[in-house]
A and B are shown apart, each in its own frame.
Chain A
Amino acid sequence: MKHTIAILVTDSPGVLAKIAGLFSRRGYNIESLAVGHTETKGISRMTIVVEGDDRALEQIKKQLNKLIDAIKVADLDPYNSVGRELALIKVKVDSPQHRADMIQLVDVFRAKILDIGDQSLIIEITGRQDKVDAMIGLLSQFGIKEVVRTGKVTLARGLKVVSLPKKAKR
């Protein structure tokens, strides 16, 4: 089963390597990873999707908690959270008909066209992983030149937040 783990970490050198290293040396595969700044200065948030049973998840969380740079670790309940990925897809355009077909697809998927070239399009799509997968699948018939995807980012629904412990707030 796939789990989504959110980790608040200090912005210090080597933190990403320490977290990623923990996953690899304990034998857990990272399916996707996204990192960025948070609402608090000096604190970044990593969202990691990992495959494993409940016991493995428990162990991952405990091991992450032992890292001094990891301030808060939470796993996000898939039924009570929203998660999104973003992909940029460069597609080859062979004919006006192709272009029209693709634009229709972009409309249906509520994606965006970021760049139109003589023989190419760059499409941006945001959504759940299966939606991004479906879009890529459909576009592949036209000839995909390049795909870049972010890792998944996730927030819990409602007022629930992954927040810093009180003592971390100045």
Chain B
Amino acid sequence: MENVEVLFGYPGGTIMPFYDALYDEKDIKHILTRHEQGAAHAADGYARSTGKVGVCVATSGPGATNLVSGIATASMDSVPMVAITGQVPTKLIGTDAFQEADITGITAPITKHNYLVKDVNDLAHTVKEAFYIARTGRPGPVLIDIPKDVLVSETEFHYPKNIRLVGYKQVHTGHASQISMAATEIARAKKPVIIAGGGMQIACACAELRELVEKAQIPVATTLMGIGCFPEDHALSLGMVGMHGTAYANYAICETDLLISLGTKFSDRVTGKIAEFAPNAKIIHIDIDPAEIGKNVRVDVPIVGHLKETLTELNKVIAPGDTSQWLKTIASWKEKFPLHSTNPDMLNPQHIMEAIYKATNGEAIIVTEVGQNQMWAAQYYTYTKPRSFITSGGLGTMGYGFPASLGVKYAHPDKHVFDIAGDGSIQMNIQELATAAYNDLDVNIVIMNNGYLGMVRQWQEMFYDKRYAATPLKGNPDFVKLIEAYGGVGARVTKQEELFPAIKKAINTDNVCLIDCVIPPEENVYPMVAPGACISNMFGVGQ
């Protein structure tokens, strides 16, 4: 009915009737993860890489609470997901029954909506509503909690054609007069800049963005979530903006006279100090969610609308602009302040990401964990396609990448899927190696192994007098032996010359692979804006 092809889940007492029905099901594949959090992230990876609704399943109590980090991750990054949980029988609800948890209460703040279905006659329309809510408007996770007695009740199945959701407010194209006001501002601007966020990928508005950019000659920076919505090898690309953005993107934001923000929430990681963010600019903000407009920064031309439809309208009224002077300035910054590793002569993250790009002809889907590995993956691979960079941006969930990559690989069996990991975060959901090996989900894990919880260590170096409290990762396993124990293929890389052959071998191996890359322990992510500082005020810029 909703064309679900795969579920990621883990059975348990109260969800057993659901699994019993699944036993005879031919059209829906179930992937058993080794932890419910893995199931939630895998469903999330599936959803982000396809735009379809990802589905995860767990039992009541601890099964449901183990989904929580995954649901919150999906919520922060507007990922369409339906989570189905078993619940104790209705007559036991509220009695502190075995494996009872108030999961609708727990997930209220981290779901777009949730349901506790107490009557089997409500089940069909609830499922219909849940999928509809999850994928429309600003997408998000929806949880359906189903008590065991409801799962075993019988009713006449009727899947409704239409649903009636009076409290669900939808928006479509932005207001025409606001769009024409935006066009006027764009025509007037001498130093315009676009910030494109995750909303661009969700709205599939990348072609419309490109038309706008090329017509009006406006440089484009993306947020972390926007990476891939505009080709980074394009002359008008500025790469990523924000705390670890490129120097030229951050300088451009500080100098611009017109900031056009598309599908972004102005996260603190993007804006730095709000009072000094784009100080000389008028701001146009287009977003499908009215609550994002004016939430964090003042906006001069607010437009509430679906990005694809709104940009289509905007492109009709836009006049070609002359920004050649501005583009010259930006080109000189690009020349002067390129991204670069601080350890160019040793095996470093820049080498790793560039080698993956080269080995896959830029056709890989890169999934990341969280921390330094995530920022390096964002910086040093040249993304040219939407949905090719999958990362936990809003919640910053360590342990996201590997299980998410399994969902990505399931959806894209012909693509090279890489999980870029740190030696810390890979260990947060490493049990999913079994899921990968058993289901032939041959993703390639690349660990940037520096023996530290690197991002925290970097902050300790910069802001806590190098007092490395609880960040050295003593007791790491031998990752190569570990993947071999699961039946996968491993390699350790310590020198630059070993890197490319190891990656080539991994992508030509029909098995889950792990490359443990030993990188300099004190390699930092640069540039870096100190938290709360103006984004033009960066550490580690220039040679």
Contacts and interface: CB of A to CB of B under 8 A. Distances in A.
A9 B166 CA distance: 10
Contacts of B109: 21-22, 25
B113 A68 contact: yes
A32 interface: no
Nearest to A19: B108
Nearest to B291: A62
Contacts of B328: none
B167 A167 contact: no
Interface stretch (A10-18, A76-84, A100-108, A113-121): A10-18
A108 to B, nearest CB: 45
Given A67-B167, A68-B167, A164-B166, A59 B290 contact: no
A14 B166 contact: no
Q: Which DSSP category, helix, strand, loop or mixed, fits chain A's interface? A: helix
B149 interface: no
Contacts of B289: 66
B165 A17 contact: no
B368 to A, nearest CB: 28
Given A21-B109, A65-B169, A165-B166, A13 B294 contact: no
B98 interface: no
B307 interface: no
Interface in A59-117: 59, 62-63, 65-71
Contacts of A59: 291, 294-295
A41 interface: no
Given A55-B294, A66-B289, A14 B167 contact: no
Interface in A36-56: 55
A70 to B, nearest CB: 6
Interface string B162-173: 001111110000
Contacts of A22: 109
A9 B168 CA distance: 12
Interface string B100-120: 000011001100110010000
* Residue with the greatest number of chain B CB neighbours at <10 A, chosen from A10, A14, A55, A168: A14
Interface footprint category on B = 10 to 19
A21 B168 contact: no
Contacts of A66: 112, 169, 289, 291
A69 B291 contact: no
Contacts of B108: 14, 17-18, 21
A62 B295 CA distance: 10
A71 B168 CA distance: 7
B290 A168 contact: no
Interface in A128-168: 164-165, 167-168
Nearest to A169: B166
Interface of B: 104-105, 108-109, 112-113, 116, 133, 164-169, 289-291, 294-295
Given A62-B291, A70-B167, 20 more contacts: A13-B116, A14-B104, A17-B105, A18-B108, A21-B108, A21-B109, A25-B109, A58-B294, A59-B294, A59-B295, A63-B291, A65-B290, A66-B112, A66-B289, A67-B113, A68-B165, A68-B167, A164-B166, A167-B164, A168-B166
